[in-house]
Amino acid sequence: MNIAVLSRGENLYSTQSLLKAGMARNHTMEVIDPTLCTLTVDKGKPVLYYCDEVVDDLHAVIPRIGASNTYFGASMVRHLECMNVFPVVGAEAILQSRNKWTSFQILAQAGVPVPKTYQGNTYDAELLLKLFGKAPLIIKILQGTHGHGVILAETQASALSTIETLNTAKVRYIVQEFIAESKGSDLRAIVVDGTVVAAMKRSCKEGDFRSNLHRGGSSEIITLSAQEEQVALKAAKALRLGVCGVDILQSKQGPLVLEVNSTPGLEGIETTTGINISEKIITYIERNRM
């Protein structure tokens, strides 16, 4: 099969890992940088140009869309869907999971346990905090990644001033209960095609509360409880993601889904667990496209 990895970074670990896994299974692999593409609808048909060449021979695509390129990246995936190219994650699913508020709405509707979360509003910061309850609480901008854009407001005064600042700056955000008992750790489960294929526990570095590996967190391999596994699978299904990373906080109320990532980094999970996730993604494509 001809499989494209949609990525701006040919030399990134995840891109290289996917290329290697595909070639090892005798597929023709290529990297397409979405920023070098031109999307057209011409004579009633979707046509894709990569630089000045028409691309019309792809069977499947593995989108690796960065947060800075969500809109165009998703548009590109939609274009490929219109050309009957199989995407391991669809355009709509990418857009929905990228927006922290949209994804909580969808997860809640599907009965997936999530932390108490309020959409930010701009008309009355004090009322929002009165309705929400007391600090400490978490405030997050809607499209942050790598732990950037997550604020722990330890007092009511800092929560209020932070919300007023975001309102003034016209930045959209959510307010969320702080799950103190997770102690700066969370679980990352990788789901491929309705199966948890790997899981790790991430813990924050000293002095932080964010467990992101990009923030200096550490990781260890773990086995999920049956309940955690069910929650991860339900979240992936609700957001219709064939491949994703589901982040789970261990709380007094049981596992709570914090976010679902449509482009999970592969380096941390593959090196922590020794599991070849890329190969699982390639065989998922084979089951659906061959």
Ligand X SMILES: Nc1ncnc2c1ncn2[C@@H]1O[C@H](COP(=O)(O)OP(=O)(O)O)[C@@H](O)[C@H]1O
CA gap 9, 22 in Å, rounded:
17
- How many other C-beta atoms are found inside a 10 Å radius of the C-beta of residue 111? 9
Among residues 87, 113, 120, 147, the one that binds ligand X under rule CB under 6 A: 147
Whether the Cβ atoms of residue 6 and residue 62 lie closer than 8 Å to each other: yes
**CB of 159 vs ligand X, minimal distance in Å:** 13
Interface with ligand X, residue 257, by CB under 6 A: no
Whichever of 167 and 263 has its CB closer to ligand X, that residue is 263
Among residues 17, 96, 97, 211, the one that binds ligand X under rule CB under 6 A: 211
**CB of 146 vs Mg ion, minimal distance in Å:** 8
Which residue from 102, 111, 70, 55 is spatially nearest to 256, judged by alpha carbons? Answer: 111
- Residue 34's binding partner out of ligand X, Mg ion, none, with CB under 5 to 8 Å set by partner kind: none
Q: What is the DSSP string of the chain?
A: -EEEEE-S-TTSHHHHHHHHHHHHTT-EEEEE-GGGEEEEEETTEEEEEETTEE----SEEEE---GGGHHHHHHHHHHHHHTTPEESB-HHHHHHHHSHHHHHHHHHHTT-----EEE--SS-HHHHHHHH-PSSEEEEETT--TTTTEEEE-SHHHHHHHHHHHHHTT--EEEEE--GGGTTEEEEEEEETTEEEEEEEEEPPTT-----GGGT-EEEE----HHHHHHHHHHHHHTTBSEEEEEEEEETTEEEEEEEESS--SHHHHHHH---HHHHHHHHHHHHH-
- Residue 176's binding partner out of ligand X, Mg ion, none, with CB under 5 to 8 Å set by partner kind: ligand X
- Whether the upstream peptide bond of residue 115 has omega within 30° of 0, thus cis, is no
Q: Which of residues 112-141 bind ligand X (CB under 6 A)?
A: 115, 138, 140
Whichever of 28 and 253 has its CB closer to ligand X, that residue is 253
Among residues 179, 187, 197, 243, the one that binds ligand X under rule CB under 6 A: 179
Among residues 144, 156, 158, 205, the one that binds ligand X under rule CB under 6 A: 144
Whichever of 121 and 145 has its CB closer to ligand X, that residue is 145
- Taking residues 75 to 104 in sequence order and writing x for each that binds ligand X by CB under 6 A, - otherwise, the string is ------------------------------
Among residues 15, 97, 103, 182, the one that binds ligand X under rule CB under 6 A: 182
Q: Which of residues 145-164 bind Mg ion (CB under 5 A)?
A: none
- Taking residues 208 to 247 in sequence order and writing x for each that binds Mg ion by CB under 5 A, - otherwise, the string is ----------------------------------------
Whichever of 46 and 184 has its CB closer to ligand X, that residue is 184
- Residue 136's binding partner out of Mg ion, ligand X, none, with CB under 5 to 8 Å set by partner kind: none
Task: Report the interface residues with ligand X, using CB under 6 A.
Answer: 115, 138, 140, 144-150, 176-179, 182, 184, 186, 209-212, 247, 249, 258-259
Task: Report the interface residues with Mg ion, using CB under 5 A.
Answer: 259
